[in-house]
Amino acid sequence: MNIVVLVKQVPDTWSERKLTDADHTLDRESADAVLDEINERAVEEALLLKEAHGGEVTVIAMGPGRATDAIRKALSMGADKAVHVSDDALHGSDVIATAKVLAKAIGTVEGFDLVIAGNEATDGRAGAIPAILAEILGLPQVTQLRKVTVEGTTVKGERETEEGVAHLEASLPAIVSVTEKINEPRYPSFKGIMAAKKKPVTTLTVADLGVDAGEVGLGGAWSGVIEASPKPPRSAGQRIDDEGVGGSKIAEYLVGQKLI
Amino acid sequence: MLDFRLDEEYEALRKTVEEFARDEVAPVIGDLYERNEFPYGIVAKMGRMGLFGLPFPEEHGGMGGDYFALCLALEELARVDSSVAITLEAGVSLGTMPLFRFGTDEQRAQWLPRMCTGEVLGAFGLTEPGGGSDAGAMRTTARLEDGHWVLNGTKAFITNSGTDITGLVTVAAVTGTKENGRKEISAIIVPAGTPGFTVSKKYSKVGWNASDTRELSFADCRVPEANLLGERGRGYAQFLQTLDEGRIAIAAVGVGLAQGCVDESLRYVGEREAFGHKIGEYQAIKFKIADMEVRAYNARLAYYAAAAKMLRGEPFKKEAAIAKLVSSEAAMDNAREATQIFGGYGFMNEYPVGRFYRDAKILEIGEGTSEVQRMLIARELGL
């Protein structure tokens, strides 16, 4: 079974993240860049499926040069090869342009059966890529899964919502997205780290993929960020001294905030 | 020529273990430490990511790395917790390394694959209640009888010797007298559960409280003759080789602890206020932290340099002793200063620096005391 995993390098959620003043895109210099945690889970799921069914795992990333670090991590975990779409023209691309490019990149992987993505990236948080991709590629999509299994030519999944659990299935090839409940990703071993150095990474530009550079990037985006301001620092809060009625005072406060 | 940057794969490993320590060890270790509980869950996870197999070839189930890779992992673990670091250090360099280096093909095949995955831990029984660094004082004996070694004696302070996953202890024992009248010392593999081999309950220790340290006693404990590890009469020489590289590993643990003190202090002084300012704005605090960073940095250079000589196959006895001495003193000094910076909270077990303070002292004692390191350094200088 040939599996494609979409991965993204994002600013580390442990560091301070911000947008640039110039064009309100991500300030990549301000924070450490890591493989997005949800993508580690997507890679893990692909590796588990490969271990069960055989086949090959290809990771695809779109991002600047240093995204190779994120790709390397996915390869260290055990993915077999990678496609890295890297082009200055992609700077500031919105979800539609990103999905167009990723669709073309997926098309370079021969005979894929399943595409696995995280449900949403921790930086952009649009959560729209899997659905747009499915539309462009004309494939079924089964999104927001906490469990994925493959039986024959069918992928089955469980989607947990506040109302209950939906059991879904689609015929392969298909696109699935996974939530953080899907699994606990493995840490790369040193053997994996060493092996990753020798695994093939194909680097492609938008021209290589036959995409018009004018359709992507900040200029080709259908929407834009008009203004951005940092989160205000947390205020001191309200202090309640407990003189026997502390509990009810807290309850009053919560009622005032319409929280209870 | 002079390039202190880590190779890409070393850096990737360091970063992986840094994340592991932050995400898997830090959240749970305080409770385990408080309850003197061995971190089985953490050990299993370290096993799955291959840390117990780091310096061993893939044919034995290892990761195909080297001893320096192990040191980097130890440093990152010790930045967060020393019990976990020492469990790995002892497991690899005292438990598995002697079997890998001196074992027969059968012994290696029997033990290494499961030890490399951390499913089985090995321990190393050298020290006795009556003596650590003085091998001439060894009293544990093993006599050959009907194709079996019969062991009698007691071993003290043996790490990883009584866990649920301990598979064996390599025991140093007197097996006769040499021509020159000295004791003939050999190493013998004693599997856990062998009749006559008793493991005491855990010691109550000042630090390293989540690690497993016990006294072992042997009363007419019989193991097959084939359990001799390496050559008969070479037991002590084998241990010395193990100890030299073990010193670099302990140095890495010390550097990790020293750096952990800097990490925790930086976090704290940016939050804690006194007299209207963050305490990190006061020069008294800044200078303390600068000195702590200097000590950690120097000690790191010392162990990198010792490891570089070892990997090049050059003699490294002096460098290993220097690294171990500098780093254990850095750990002790930094732990004391970090605790001081934290004030009353530093004396509370719920903060990591209190744990660091308790864990630091043993580094000046274990695997050769600071006095022994000075002795070795002086001897290497021809004194």
Distance from CA of B99 to the nearest CA of A (A): 21
Q: Is A189 in Cβ contact with B69 (below 8 Å)?
A: no
Taking CB atoms within 8 Å and a gap of at least 24, the contacts of A12-19 are A13/A37, A13/A122, A17/A123, A18/A230, A19/A225, A19/A228
> Per-residue pLDDT for chain B (383 aa), expressed as one digit of tens each?
567 788 889 999 999 999 999 999 999 999 999 999 999 999 999 999 999 999 999 999 999 999 999 999 999 999 999 999 999 999 999 999 999 999 999 999 999 999 999 999 999 998 999 876 676 789 999 999 999 999 999 999 999 999 999 999 999 999 999 888 888 999 999 999 999 999 998 899 999 999 999 999 999 999 999 999 999 988 777 777 778 889 999 999 999 999 999 999 999 999 999 999 999 999 999 999 999 999 999 999 999 999 999 999 999 999 999 999 999 999 999 999 999 999 999 999 889 999 999 999 999 998 889 999 999 999 999 99
Cα–Cα distance, A160 to A166 (Å, whole number): 6
Would an 8 Å CB–CB cutoff place A186 in contact with chain B? yes
Q: What does B354-373 look like in DSSP terms, one character per residue?
A: HHHHHHHGGGGTTTS-HHHH
Q: Is A72 in Cβ contact with B12 (below 8 Å)?
A: yes
Which one of A188, A194, A197 has the shortest CB-CB distance to B16?
A188
Would you state the pLDDT for residue B329?
A: 98
Would you state the pLDDT for residue A124?
A: 80
Q: Which residue of B has its CA nearest to A195?
A: B9
Cα–Cα distance, B48 to B52 (Å, whole number): 9
C-alpha dihedral sign at A61, A63, A68, A70: negative
Higher-confidence residue: A15 or A209?
A: A209
Name beta bridge partners: A161. A164
Would an 8 Å CB–CB cutoff place B58 in contact with chain A? yes
Distance from CA of B53 to the nearest CA of A (A): 9
Which of these is catalytic: B34, B367, B371, B380?
B367
Which one of A73, A191, A196 has the shortest CB-CB distance to B50?
A191
Would you state the pLDDT for residue B2?
A: 63
Cα–Cα distance, B307 to B249 (Å, whole number): 9
Q: What is the pLDDT of residues B295-337, one digit of tens each?
A: 999 999 999 999 999 999 999 999 999 999 999 999 999 999 9
Tell me the residues of chain B between 88 and 107 that have a Cβ less than 8 Å away from chain A: none
Would you state the pLDDT for residue A224?
A: 84
Q: What is the pLDDT of residues A87-102, one digit of tens each?
A: 999 998 999 999 999 9
Q: Is B64 in Cβ contact with A189 (below 8 Å)?
A: no
Query: Does the model's ipTM exceed the 0.90 cut?
Result: no
Cα–Cα distance, B364 to B254 (Å, whole number): 9
- Number of H-type helices and E-type strands within chain B: 12, 10
List all residues 6 or more positions away from A117 whose beta carbon is below 8 Å from its beta carbon. Answer: A5, A6, A39, A42, A129, A130, A133, A175, A176, A177, A178
Q: Is B69 in Cβ contact with A190 (below 8 Å)?
A: yes
Chain A contacts of B8, Cβ < 8 Å? 197
Average pLDDT over residues A44-49: 97
Tell the burial category of B273 from Cβ atoms under 10 Å away from its Cβ (0-12, 13-18, 19+).
exposed
Would you state the pLDDT for residue A132?
A: 95
Distance from CA of A192 to the nearest CA of B (A): 8
Would you state the pLDDT for residue B133?
A: 62
Q: How far is CA B123 from CA B99, B112, B184, B200, B237, in A?
A: 11, 13, 21, 14, 18
Q: Residue A103: helix, strand or coil by DSSP?
A: helix
Q: How far is CA A126 from CA A25, A139, B47, in A?
A: 14, 20, 37
Q: What is the pLDDT of residues A225-247, one digit of tens each?
A: 888 888 887 777 777 778 888 88
Cα–Cα distance, B216 to B154 (Å, whole number): 6
Q: Is B13 in Cβ contact with A190 (below 8 Å)?
A: yes
Q: Is B49 in Cβ contact with A189 (below 8 Å)?
A: yes
Q: Is A193 in Cβ contact with B16 (below 8 Å)?
A: yes
- B367 classed as catalytic: yes
Torsion of CA A70, A76, A82, A87, to 10 degrees: 20
The DSSP symbol for B276 reads T
Distance from CA of A193 to the nearest CA of B (A): 6
Rg (CA), chain A: 21
Cα–Cα distance, A199 to A196 (Å, whole number): 5
Would an 8 Å CB–CB cutoff place B52 in contact with chain A? no
Distance from CA of B293 to the nearest CA of A (A): 21
Q: Domain spanning A2-220: which CATH class is it, in words?
A: alpha beta
- First CA to last CA distance, chain B: 32
Chain B contacts of A197, Cβ < 8 Å? 8-9
Q: Is A190 in Cβ contact with B54 (below 8 Å)?
A: yes
Q: Is B48 in Cβ contact with A193 (below 8 Å)?
A: no
Would you state the pLDDT for residue A16?
A: 77
Q: Which residue of B has its CA nearest to A194?
A: B9
Chain A contacts of B45, Cβ < 8 Å? 187
Cα–Cα distance, B310 to B349 (Å, whole number): 38
Tell me the residues of chain A between 67 and 86 that have a Cβ less than 8 Å away from chain B: 72-73, 76
Chain B contacts of A193, Cβ < 8 Å? 9, 12-13, 16
Q: What is the pLDDT of residues B184-198, one digit of tens each?
A: 999 999 999 999 999
Name beta bridge partners: B273. B278
Q: Which residue of B has its CA nearest to A197?
A: B9
Q: Is B12 in Cβ contact with A73 (below 8 Å)?
A: yes
Would an 8 Å CB–CB cutoff place B55 in contact with chain A? no
Which one of A189, A196, A197 has the shortest CB-CB distance to B50?
A189
| Structural domains of chain B, ranges and CATH numbers in brackets | 8-121 (1.10.540.10), 123-234 (2.40.110.10), 237-380 (1.20.140.10)
Distance from CA of B267 to the nearest CA of A (A): 13
Q: Is A186 in Cβ contact with B13 (below 8 Å)?
A: no
- Both structure tokens of A73: 């991590």
